[in-house]
Amino acid sequence: MKRLVWLAVLVIAIGFYVGYGQMTTAAKKPEPGRRESRPAVPVTVVAAVQKIMPVQLEAVGTVEPYSTVSIRSQVTGAITKVHFQEGQDVKEGDLLFTVDPRPFEATLKQAEANLAKDTAMLANAREQARRYQELVKKQYVSQEQYDQIKTNADAIEATVDADKANVENAKVQLSYCRIYSPVTGRTGSLLVNEGNVVRTNDATPLVTINQVTPIYVTFALPEQNLPQIKSRLIGGKLTVQAVLPQGQQPEQGDLSFIDNSVDRTTGTIKLKGTFRNGERRLWPGQFVKAVLKLTDQEAIVVPSDAVQTGQQGQQVFVVRQDSAVDVRPVVVSRSLNGESVIEKGLQAGERVVTDGQFLLAPGSRIQIKTANSPNPDQKGGAQEGARRKKETAS
């Protein structure tokens, strides 16, 4: 009997548990057609604007000196004086080196002495030729004797001309003992010091001078851009910017050179921009970003942070009138200074999300953050702190 009673109690308990579970599940299940509510996602939005944007091409550029001169000696001798310091700015015509001039001064004096001797002999030979010319007219001497005297005078005259040339050559050699700067620029490392003997055929230069004002920036662009560049050049000059690192102000220059052939190995064309470089912020061998501006164009622009990359390509979250968002694919033609030019997909005035996209999905509700509105998490934390402070006080 007791066994039957316990069995009945167990059946009643199981039935009550199953019924209670079904009631709880039914209470938790949402009604048909009713969406589960989710909190709004705090985001930052901005409106797409229509404005003038430059059309430009970018490439990595190398800064090159306007001219480079390797200074070498044109005579053999010892360096007696260096008239500059390494890395010093020099002007065209400044004295750089002095080579020992004494051997060349002696050579010049010897050439001048030979010239003086032969000049005196030439004067005497001409006087003799003049006297023999009078005598041959009177038939006191033969024509043969007169011709011999005249030939001798002509030979001495030729010797005098050779002596003059030797004197000029000695002066030129002596002038090479003083080496001047042929350009205005900046000197590099001094490779020969005072006391060293230099020769005319030395492979190593005494010093190298780079002209840095003005200066070149050399860069290469794909050959597909060549027709566009040439068409823009017909109307006038093209501007080139040299963008420096660390947020410095870019240097402005002009496109001054287009190579006469395309590099077949890379499919690029070499170009050069000329920059005044008055503040000398560009330096030979430096790498910069070269920006060639072609024209200005009106376009739809949004911050680059608004453009995301999804499975279908580039996209943005567009804000609807009901404070929800839609995902819209866009075509970005180019980006510049943190802004993206939208070729297709957006209209001016449409608002897009620039911050908080990782919490969004199509149809998500949003809460637009302002400069004075705190983050909901921060706001909840502040309320919780105020509640605890109140409980402590009480």
Q: Please give the average pLDDT of every successive group of 10 residues along the chain, which has 394 residues.
A: 56 54 45 59 91 90 96 94 95 96 95 94 87 79 82 90 95 96 95 91 93 96 92 84 86 94 94 94 94 89 90 89 90 86 90 89 86 45 44 44
Identify whether residues 218 and 194 lie together within a single domain: no
Contact 178/80 with Cβ under 8 angstroms? no
Long-range contact pairs involving 195-200 (C-beta distance under 8 Å, separation at least 24): 195/78, 195/79, 196/78, 196/79, 197/76, 197/77, 197/78, 197/79, 198/72, 198/73, 198/76, 198/77, 198/78, 198/79, 198/99, 199/73, 199/76, 200/72, 200/73, 200/74, 200/75, 200/76
Last residue of a domain, one of 248, 273, 297: 297
Exposed / middle / buried, residue 18 (Cβ in 10 Å: 0-12, 13-18, 19+): exposed
Residue 270: per-residue pLDDT: 96
Identify whether residues 191 and 220 lie together within a single domain: no
Residue 55: per-residue pLDDT: 86
Q: How many CA atoms lie within 13 A of 254 on its CB side?
A: 6
Residue 261: per-residue pLDDT: 94
Could you give the number of structural domains in the chain? 3
Sort strands 41-47 and 366-368 into parallel, antiparallel or unpaired: parallel
d(CA 28, CA 312): 37
d(CA 112, CA 68): 38
Q: For residue 329, which of 320, 246, 393, 343 has the smallest C-alpha distance?
A: 343
Identify whether residues 111 and 186 lie together within a single domain: yes
CATH code for the domain in which residue 312 is found = 2.40.420.20
The end-to-end CA distance of the chain, in Å, is 62
Residue 49: per-residue pLDDT: 92
Q: 383: how many CB neighbours lie within 10 A of its CB?
A: 10
- Domain assignment present for residue 304? The answer is yes
Q: For residue 97, which of 217, 193, 234, 203 has the smallest C-alpha distance?
A: 193
**Rounded to two decimals, what is the model's pTM?**
0.68
Identify whether residues 86 and 191 lie together within a single domain: yes
- Domain assignment present for residue 357? The answer is yes
Identify whether residues 92 and 114 lie together within a single domain: yes
Identify whether residues 221 and 175 lie together within a single domain: no
Identify whether residues 277 and 311 lie together within a single domain: no
Where in the sequence is the domain holding 107, given as residue range(s)? Answer: 75-198
Identify whether residues 61 and 90 lie together within a single domain: no
Contact 163/169 with Cβ under 8 angstroms? no
Identify whether residues 160 and 275 lie together within a single domain: no
Last residue of a domain, one of 251, 267, 297: 297
Give strand pairing partners of 43.
Answer: 368
- Domain assignment present for residue 174? The answer is yes
Residue 59: per-residue pLDDT: 94
Last residue of a domain, one of 264, 297, 330: 297
Q: Could you give the residue ranges of the DSSP H alpha helices within the chain? A: 2-28, 102-137, 143-175, 226-234, 376-393
Give strand pairing partners of 63.
Answer: 217
Identify whether residues 97 and 191 lie together within a single domain: yes
Identify whether residues 86 and 193 lie together within a single domain: yes
Identify whether residues 171 and 116 lie together within a single domain: yes
d(CA 215, CA 275): 5
Q: How many CA atoms lie within 13 A of 334 on its CB side?
A: 11
Contact 77/103 with Cβ under 8 angstroms? yes
Any residues with CB less than 8 A from the CB of 309 and at least 6 apart, and which? 315
- Domain assignment present for residue 32? The answer is no
Contact 360/308 with Cβ under 8 angstroms? no
